Structure formats: C-alpha cells, structure tokens
Amino acid sequence: MKITIDRHRCIGAGMCALLAPEVFDQDTDDGKVRLLDPAPLPARHAVAREAEHACPSGAIDVVPDGTS
C-alpha cells in the first residue's frame, strides 16, 4: 500500500488523524494533514482506507501494492 496526500486540497477536518493516528497527523500550524507513514504495515491498511473514505475533501489517496 502506498499513501499520498494533497495538502492543498485538505480542509483540516482531522478525520484522518482521528481514525488512523499512526498514519496521519494534523500540522500544528495550519491544521492540515501530515502523512506519518506513506507505506504502512498491513495491520494499518484497513484504517488507512477508512481515513481515505472519511476525508471530506478527498485529500488522501490510498493505492494498493502493485498498482499505480
């Protein structure tokens, strides 16, 4: 799994950091998403996908291994 974020698209809702704090955080300066782990272990894949779907701005993109 590979995760990318678009900070310009982020509105700072914080759902990602709430759902997957091991993978995402919020910047203390502007409240926007910070990616802590762009290639999380399989144990965190489900929460990363959940955070992607919960993001109201669509700023998170989760791509499974072996695809682009």
Residue 14 scores a pLDDT above 50: yes
Hey, how many other C-beta atoms are within 10 angstroms of the C-beta on 62?
Answer: 17
Per-residue pLDDT band for 68 (boundaries 50, 70, 90) equals very low
How far is CA 62 from each of CA 28, 29, 51, rounded to the nearest angstrom? 24, 25, 9
Which residues fall within 8 angstroms of residue 16, CB to CB, at 6 or more apart? 23, 24, 33, 51, 52, 54, 55, 60
Say what the pTM is.
Answer: 0.91
Task: Give the per-residue pLDDT at 65.
Answer: 84
Kindly report, residue by residue over 19-63, the tens digit of the pLDDT.
999 999 999 999 999 999 999 999 999 999 999 999 999 999 999
Q: Which run of H or E residues covers position 51?
A: helix 45-54
Beta-bridge partners for 24: 35
